[in-house]
């Protein structure tokens, strides 16, 4: 960072203001956020430099100049006059001919309500969307002087000599091209790329393309003003505020195999060839359908057709936003030397999931590459399945649509016997922020600055979203979720130092009665369903139901591993990470007999520079909610109902992560062999 001065860091420690994620062109900051500065504000930077005069006019006509003259912490990618001229010429427009709505879109596309230097810009997408609620793709290259420079949306280079220019309320990054975001739906964007024509034709022929055109639920209306806020007390007497979501957006993600790979590796040249490839895969999985009318090539739009199933398994009903969001952002909370960060997502083939893994563990690299992401990979002492490699970039073509994103993969995705018998025959751990697609599609997962906490006083509730937002979900917002009773279902944004995997969590607050559909299992058998959470004195007691059948006695979330009913004083005698292998085996056996497990040894909490394994923290644990016999193609629900009111309306339970564990994993007891502690 060449030009950031010490003043900006001093200011950041004193005053911070975040503009809400969606601000209409008439919104302005309140008068309390205006201050007198000797330095230059972002508005003055634009107005005082002739080379940015045309962008300054666009910002002014958008009604945003006053906002940029107030204190905040903005990032501005400011196009030069020549960049604006080239943009207008390409559109056959003039500056005077732009409408107020045009100016609003252009201005907000170049503004981000969080401070980012080029040092913070990692490959993938920027960690915060622009003020037009669209992601900005980040990549890097060398300029003509061999300087490493940031490239935005594949085309706009941040000028090295003038990047990171600080102003009182943000950072300026001059660029020589105007940024644009596609307004196409995902299928229309795929259509523009001739390198994936076979997959596009199959999407159209199966009718799946038509299922990926939704963008926004116009019937959803967010509350306004202070009516939006739900104030509550959580954790260690922390006062917080949550709001309902701004919008209800629909999103999709597609994994596409380029024509060159289909032709070279699979000898597929058209959708009929692709159909026969699909038959080779899915006739084994669904043998009962082979002789049905739906199986014929003439009926490829039937959901039971092999080609339909093949294509649907390459699609997600969520917008993952960017390559670096395919797994948890920045690998936060995962000990990447021991565990590959992994997430599981339901696909548009009913009752199936894909496994996405960020390869970080050197021990099991195989033919993979550290730092890359793979689908349906399992490379360990038992299996050596490399999986399908997800390419970081789609060269020469825009892959970020209005309602989704697509990626290239280097081999077809298959829900076949190798996938469900081997890849999926493991402990399936899902962070609750990944179970509900809407959380990712609407850019809530891992939002905000996790290094900053809200005001932790006993009386303040932050209504400014200063460091990020917590959300509560009205009944019906999350598919498969019922929010009943006088309670709230809340997603708490990540904070470092918290006893939760990745720093974020769901909580049920008040007199709650909440049920949700659990993810599908890949094969029939006995499955253990576990909940990872943090026990705390302020938390309450809940009855857990599986398909509305109560499961054991109510879960008391005030009891940690040091409680007399679990390990008692034995917990504190030795840290788990200090135990030898035999001691760990005995510890796991003791807890397993009680229906508990320590928190994952592959996860950690941090206050910044320190790291503490969850397995060493008595408050972080996993409980076996139930052991049930279930099969693919079935829907099952967990229900969480408050049975205690000792904390009043702040009675809560925490839902951090869910584990679906087959008997092949939890049932191993021979010769000291046990499920691993990761």
Give me the pLDDT at residue 285, please: 96
Q: What does the alpha-carbon distance between residue 467 and residue 449 come to, in Å, rounded to a whole number?
A: 5
Residue 31 has pLDDT above 70, yes or no: no
- Residue whose tokens read 């990047």: 163
Mean pLDDT across the chain: 91
Pairing of strands 604-605, 612-613: antiparallel
- Mind listing the pLDDT tens digit for each residue in 508-553? 999 999 999 999 999 999 999 999 999 998 899 999 999 999 999 9
- Report the percentage of the chain scoring pLDDT > 70: 93
Q: What does the alpha-carbon distance between residue 527 and residue 521 come to, in Å, rounded to a whole number?
A: 9
Give me the pLDDT at residue 457, please: 63
What are the structural domains of the chain? 6-175 (2.30.180.10), 183-213+250-431 (2.30.180.10), 442-672 (2.60.120.260)
- Mind listing the pLDDT tens digit for each residue in 312-333? 999 999 999 999 999 999 999 9
Cβ neighbours of residue 13 under 8 Å, at least 6 residues apart?
Answer: none
Q: What are phi and psi of 437, to 5 degrees?
A: -55, -30
Long-range contacts of 297-304 (CB under 8 A, 24+ apart): 297/272, 300/202, 300/205, 300/206, 300/271, 300/275, 301/205, 301/206, 301/207, 303/350
Residue 3 has pLDDT above 50, yes or no: no
Q: What does the alpha-carbon distance between residue 150 and residue 522 come to, in Å, rounded to a whole number?
A: 42
Residue 402 has pLDDT above 50, yes or no: yes
- Mind listing the pLDDT tens digit for each residue in 175-204? 999 999 999 999 999 999 999 999 999 999
DSSP states along 425-441: SS-EEEEHHHHSHHHHH
DSSP states along 392-416: S--TTS--EETTEEEEEBSS----S
Q: How far apart are the first and last CA of the chain?
A: 38
Residue 114 has pLDDT above 90, yes or no: no
Q: What does the alpha-carbon distance between residue 625 and residue 621 come to, in Å, rounded to a whole number?
A: 12
Higher pLDDT, 20 or 289: 289
């Amino acid at each position: 960072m060449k030009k950031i001065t010490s003043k900006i860091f001093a200011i950041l420690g004193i005053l911070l203001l975040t503009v809400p994620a969606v601000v209409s062109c008439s919104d302005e900051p309140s008068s309390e956020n205006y201050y007198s500065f000797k330095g230059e504000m972002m508005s003055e930077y634009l107005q005082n430099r002739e080379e940015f005069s045309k962008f300054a006019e666009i910002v002014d006509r958008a009604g945003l100049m006053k906002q940029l003259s107030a204190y905040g912490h903005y990032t501005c990618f400011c196009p030069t006059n020549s960049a604006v001229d080239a943009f207008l010429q390409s559109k056959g427009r003039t500056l005077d001919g732009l409408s107020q709505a045009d100016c609003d879109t252009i201005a907000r596309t170049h503004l981000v309500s969080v401070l980012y230097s080029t040092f913070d810009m990692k490959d993938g997408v920027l960690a915060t969307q622009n003020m037009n609620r669209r992601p900005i793709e980040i990549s890097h290259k060398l300029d003509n002087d061999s300087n490493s420079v940031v490239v935005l949306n594949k085309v706009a280079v941040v000028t090295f000599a003038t990047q990171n220019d600080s102003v009182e309320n943000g950072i300026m990054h001059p660029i020589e091209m105007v940024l644009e975001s596609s307004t196409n739906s995902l299928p229309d964007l795929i259509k523009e790329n001739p390198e994936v024509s076979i997959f596009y034709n199959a999407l159209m022929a199966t009718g799946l393309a038509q299922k990926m055109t939704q963008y926004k639920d116009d019937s959803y209306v967010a509350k306004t003003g202070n009516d939006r806020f739900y104030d509550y007390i959580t954790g260690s007497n922390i006062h917080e505020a949550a709001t309902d979501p701004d919008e209800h957006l629909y999103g999709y993600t597609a994994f596409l195999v380029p024509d060159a790979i289909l032709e070279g590796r699979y000898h597929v040249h058209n959708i009929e060839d692709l159909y026969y490839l699909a038959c080779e895969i899915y006739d084994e999985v669904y043998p009962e359908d082979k002789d049905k009318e739906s199986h014929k090539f003439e009926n490829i739009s039937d959901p039971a057709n092999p080609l339909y199933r093949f294509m649907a398994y390459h699609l997600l009903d969520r917008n993952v936003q960017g390559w670096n969001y395919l797994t948890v952002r920045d690998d936060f909370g995962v000990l990447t030397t021991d565990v590959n960060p992994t997430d599981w997502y339901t696909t548009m083939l009913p009752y199936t999931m894909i496994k996405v893994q960020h390869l970080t563990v050197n021990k099991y690299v195989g033919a993979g590459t550290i730092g890359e992401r793979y689908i349906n990979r399992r490379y360990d002492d038992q299996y050596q399945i490399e999986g399908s490699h997800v390419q970081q970039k789609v060269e020469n073509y825009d892959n970020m649509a209005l309602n989704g994103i697509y990626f290239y993969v280097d081999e077809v995705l298959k829900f076949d016997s190798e996938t469900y018998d081997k890849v999926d025959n493991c402990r399936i751990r899902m962070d609750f922020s990944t179970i509900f697609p809407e959380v990712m599609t609407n850019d809530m997962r891992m939002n905000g600055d996790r290094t900053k906490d809200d005001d932790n006083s006993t009386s303040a509730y932050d209504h400014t979203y200063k460091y990020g937002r917590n959300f509560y979900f009205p009944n019906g917002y999350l598919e498969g979720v019922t929010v009943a009773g006088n309670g709230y279902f809340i997603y708490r944004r990540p904070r470092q130092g918290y006893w939760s995997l990745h720093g974020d969590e769901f909580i049920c607050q008040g007199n709650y009665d909440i049920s949700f559909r659990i993810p599908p299992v890949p094969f029939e058998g006995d499955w253990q369903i576990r909940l990872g959470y943090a026990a705390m004195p302020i938390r309450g007691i809940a009855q857990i139901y599986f398909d509305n059948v109560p499961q054991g006695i109510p879960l008391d979330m005030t009891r940690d591993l040091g409680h007399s009913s679990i390990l008692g004083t034995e917990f504190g005698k030795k840290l788990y990470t200090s135990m030898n292998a035999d001691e760990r085996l005995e510890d796991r056996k003791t807890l397993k007999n009680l229906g508990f497990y320590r928190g994952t040894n592959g996860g950690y909490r941090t206050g910044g520079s320190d790291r503490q394994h969850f397995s060493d923290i008595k408050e972080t644990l996993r409980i076996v909610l139930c052991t049930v016999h279930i099969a693919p193609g079935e829907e099952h629900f967990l229900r969480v109902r408050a049975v205690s009111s000792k904390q009043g309306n702040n009675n809560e339970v925490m839902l951090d992560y869910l584990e679906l564990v087959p008997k092949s994993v939890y049932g191993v007891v021979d010769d000291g062999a046990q499920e691993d502690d990761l």
